[in-house]
A and B are shown apart, each in its own frame.
Chain A
Amino acid sequence: MTVLDVRHLRKHFPLRRGLLGRTAGYVKAVDDVSFSIEAGETLSLVGESGCGKTTTSRCILRAIRPSSGEILFRTGTGEQVDVAPLEKKQLRPLRRQMQMIFQDPFSSLNPRMTISEIIGEPLLVNGMTDTTIRNKRVADLLELVQLPSAYLNRFPHAFSGGQRQRIGIARALALNPSLIVADEPVSALDVSVQAQIVNLMLDLQDRLGLAYLFVAHDLSVVKHVSHRVAVMYVGRIVEIAPTTGLFNTPWHPYTEALLSAVPVPDPRRRAQRIVLEGDVADPSNPPSGCHFHPRCQYATDRCRIETPALREIAPGHSVRCLRAEELSLMGVPAA
């Protein structure tokens, strides 16, 4: 069952110049993005700075308002609602079904509230005013994320980064959402803690049937958590495929370069790497045609003029590249 169906999502930020703030142009942070997520599935959005993955995730949760496109969300009653055009008031009942886990464990918890209050807040503002019932639910949630209930009256400053992320996860789960958007949930954590949180998220997904939209830049973590992966570059999805397919047989040169750039923790595998020239393209002034062409070693003149469309090249595997069929790209070597 499809929990989320995003169609042709666009978010443009106006560039203001001059004394009176005239609009001089637009930053196409999200430029025609489409994907869907099934219940119990994890789709990862990967890309580098400026690719639009964070903006996409915020649009989906309606923390910001999209410029155009549809965000079809399946509510608890089974109907599909387009949340893109809704007003704040109409969104409130839907809020409880999609929640977020944040990247920074230090700014995602209000330092002036106890963790009992923090986890209980979604319950409180959604009508669970009876304190006893609420406290019980908070205790259950703490148990779900494997934190001792003795911690209920403590304040966030008493906890480590990993523990705070667990608290954030407990808060996100409070309202029984069907979709959780995780925005770089483990990037700020130590390696050993990262492992614990990744495992926790996988366990919770199995137990509760959650769908995750996992936004990340770390491809190694993405390999562990995803069913499918979408690679974004300057506001567009350039490739989307099941995890194994994307990592083993990428069809887009950017994906190939990304995979080759990830340092592998094995000194015997210091293979020849594809080192890209130049910097990530500027979303306020992207290159013509295929945005990636200036850095692409396979680019031809056609790539500079024509904008490729996202098309299916193998079952469930789509790519945005004019030359995809001609190229034979290198994925990660088999373990």
Chain B
Amino acid sequence: MSATTAENKVAVASQRQLIWWRFRKHKLALVSAFIVAAFYLVAMFADTIAYTEPFDTQSARSYIPPQPITWFDADGHFHPTVNALKGKRDPRTFKLSYAPDPGETRDLVLFGHGYEYRLFGLIPTDIHLLGVSNSRPQDALFLLGTDQLGRDVFSRLVLASRTSLTIGLVGVVMSLVLGVLLGGISGLYGGWIDVVIQRVIEILRSIPTIPLWMGLAAAVPNSWTPQQVYFAITLIISLIGWTELARVVRGRFLALREEDFITAAELAGASQMRIIFKHMVPSFLSHIIAAVSLALPAMIISETTLSFLGLGLRPPAISWGVLLQDAQNLQTLALAPWLLVVALPVIVVILAFNFLGDGLRDAADPYG
């Protein structure tokens, strides 16, 4: 591309395109964007990717270690298989337990049959991403082993992802609305309303979260389902969480108010509405997107932490935090260390969100 054509291309590039180009250069952020997208894809198709019902307890299948897939058979052909289980009764306790039987194998298939569910909540089906050829998946597939109650860890992990990744979204949207509204009013009008809002923000931010949660969790009526409880608490948390965004938005409005091009628009006779929506909002949209991409992992971490501590979601609800609860004591870990694998997606997605947010922020405002 000649110098002039390149120059032309840049010249007519809108701010959005420039931001995209800058973002593209940030390799880590780009990779993180894919990772986050992949996670949400999994969340969307959670039921399809899982192969065993998460509540299917079978104490006989408790603490089965992860069963690897054998990719190639003895002849070297691509023929993925897993070991079947064999039941065994303990002679003294007469307790039935299952253990993998290396002699018997089952073929791994794509899009096999499994438990029934509704795809997107609408289409009833029983096709899952993975299945076994001549068995029910719950009897043969244990990609990440089982927990104490014999429940398949992989399936529970996938379904927990859905809960953990989506439950924060509502809170973030609420924070967004409140943050932009109140931060905007604060920054735009200043004066006593700014002072009041800022003091409220400061008071809210100084409340310690964990005691607050404990108090709220205790105050919520017992009759509510775990989901309702969590929803209520998330809502209340976001009523505090909007403060961060409000401060960012207020700062941007304050800075923008002094910009010459805003004065020029005022002098041209533009209405206040036009100035806000045509001139100011587009200017900080990218900052908001960046702030949101950083608020979301905070929500996820909150949920995970609180559920882990028993203050958030409780069984039978599934989330990463709930799953991690199973891995809480040392004895369990010694017996079944694969239960800790749940921590891995948490770490990966939080890191990915953070890099993504950083990348977005740098692309949006390289000098800020």
| Chain A residue at smallest Cβ distance from B262 | A110
User: Contact: A102 with B260, CB < 8 Å?
Assistant: yes
| Chain A residue at smallest Cβ distance from B15 | A112
User: Contact: B261 with A107, CB < 8 Å?
Assistant: yes
Q: Which of A119-127, A189-197, A220-228, A281-289 contacts B (4 or more CB under 8 A)?
A: A119-127
A residues less than 8 Å from B18 (CB atoms)? 157
Contact residues of B between 246 and 281, Cβ < 8 Å to A: 259-261, 263-271, 274, 279
User: Contact: B14 with A155, CB < 8 Å?
Assistant: yes
Residue A154 is within 8 A (CB to CB) of chain B in the complex: yes
| Chain B residue at smallest Cβ distance from A100 | B267
Residue B59 is within 8 A (CB to CB) of chain A in the complex: no
Interface of B is mostly: helix
Residue A111 is within 8 A (CB to CB) of chain B in the complex: yes
Interface of A is mostly: loop
Contact residues of A between 97 and 120, Cβ < 8 Å to B: 98-100, 102-104, 107-112, 114, 118
| Chain B residue at smallest Cβ distance from A62 | B267
User: Contact: A125 with B269, CB < 8 Å?
Assistant: yes
Residue A37 is within 8 A (CB to CB) of chain B in the complex: no
User: Contact: A92 with B269, CB < 8 Å?
Assistant: yes
User: Contact: B267 with A63, CB < 8 Å?
Assistant: yes
Residue B12 is within 8 A (CB to CB) of chain A in the complex: yes
User: Contact: A95 with B269, CB < 8 Å?
Assistant: yes
A residues less than 8 Å from B270 (CB atoms)? 121, 125
Q: With A100-B263, A108-B264 given, is the CB distance from A126 to B15 under 8 Å?
A: no
User: Contact: A155 with B11, CB < 8 Å?
Assistant: yes
Nearest-neighbour CB distance to chain B for A178, whole angstroms, equals 14
User: Contact: B264 with A112, CB < 8 Å?
Assistant: no
Residue B227 is within 8 A (CB to CB) of chain A in the complex: no
Residue A96 is within 8 A (CB to CB) of chain B in the complex: yes
Residue A158 is within 8 A (CB to CB) of chain B in the complex: yes
User: Contact: B269 with A96, CB < 8 Å?
Assistant: yes
Residue B200 is within 8 A (CB to CB) of chain A in the complex: no
Residue B282 is within 8 A (CB to CB) of chain A in the complex: yes
Which residue in B12, B260, B268, B274 is a CB contact (below 8 Å) of A107?
B260
Q: With A112-B15, A154-B11 given, is the CB distance from A107 to B259 under 8 Å?
A: yes
User: Contact: A154 with B268, CB < 8 Å?
Assistant: no
User: Contact: A155 with B12, CB < 8 Å?
Assistant: yes
Which residue in A103, A114, A126, A157 is a CB contact (below 8 Å) of B269?
A126
A residues less than 8 Å from B15 (CB atoms)? 111-112, 155
Residue A144 is within 8 A (CB to CB) of chain B in the complex: no
Residue A61 is within 8 A (CB to CB) of chain B in the complex: yes
| Chain B residue at smallest Cβ distance from A106 | B260
B residues less than 8 Å from A104 (CB atoms)? 260
- Complex Cα gap A92–B266 (Å): 9
Which residue in A108, A112, A154 is a CB contact (below 8 Å) of B260?
A108
Residue B10 is within 8 A (CB to CB) of chain A in the complex: yes
Residue A171 is within 8 A (CB to CB) of chain B in the complex: yes
Residues of A whose CB lies within 8 Å of any CB of B are: 61, 63, 92, 95-96, 98-100, 102-104, 107-112, 114, 118, 121-122, 125-126, 151, 153-155, 157-158, 168, 171, 174-175
Residues of B whose CB lies within 8 Å of any CB of A are: 7, 10-15, 18, 259-261, 263-271, 274, 279, 282-283
Q: List 6 A-B contacts (CB under 8 A).
A: A100-B264, A108-B260, A112-B14, A112-B282, A114-B12, A175-B268
